[in-house]
Amino acid sequence: MNKEGGEYEAIENSIIDYYHTNKDEINRYEVFHISIKTNDELYHKFDILPEENVFSVLDTLGSFPSYFPTNYKYYNNKLFVWNDRKTPLSQEIINVLYENNILDSIRLRYETGVYGDDWESNRKDLPSPPLFKVDELLEGIDYVICKKNIRRYVKLKTSEYIPPDSEKLPKIECF
């Protein structure tokens, strides 16, 4: 694990920890989504969750999407993706998502008129946008990582969303 570094190295450390401490999820899923919760002065705050849904691309190459993944890392043949607000959308991440069967372009095709402009059409020859799955029992890991020493971290496994400034997030002393 990295001892020093910035946000990317802290993400790498959380990926390594997640992979080695969540074997049930690692054995069951191939793709994991990392949410960058905040980047304050003392801590990096991320959560990692198995990804069951496809990503619908609506942004253009070179843009800075607010949610769509712009960065990724493979670790022991598992794919971890996240939205890095400093990294523009690239063909490389599009290719990675496509190769892992988690890229959907149906919404984009409707938006650009490839399938016409009638979303409400009952035509059987047009594809439907993918359904969004929600598994309320699926647990993710929230990480709070010290910026001064990214080997110092605490984590919490939970099935609920915890806001970045919540008192429910674990506390850690950074010195």
The total number of structural domains in the chain stands at 1
Residue 41 within a domain: yes
Residue 168 within a domain: no
Rg (CA), the chain: 18
Model pLDDT for residues 92-141, shown as the tens digit of each residue: 999 999 899 888 766 655 555 555 655 555 566 665 665 555 566 688 99
Residue 174 within a domain: no
Residue type, 40: D
pLDDT band of residue 17 (cuts 50, 70, 90) is very high
Residue 104 within a domain: yes
Model pLDDT for residues 35-90, shown as the tens digit of each residue: 998 767 889 999 999 988 778 877 888 999 988 999 999 999 999 999 998 999 99
Residue 169 within a domain: no
Residues contacting residue 75 through CB under 8 Å, at least 6 positions apart: 15, 16, 19
> What is the pTM (predicted TM-score) of this model?
0.84
Q: Name which residue leads in pLDDT, 91 or 110.
A: 91
Question: Residue 70: which domain range?
Answer: 7-158
Show the DSSP H helices in 29-132 as ranges.
91-99, 106-111
Residue 164 within a domain: no
How far apart are the C-alpha atoms of 10 and 1, rounded to whole Å? 9
Residue among 167, 147, 165, 138 at smallest CA distance from 6: 147
Residue 167 within a domain: no
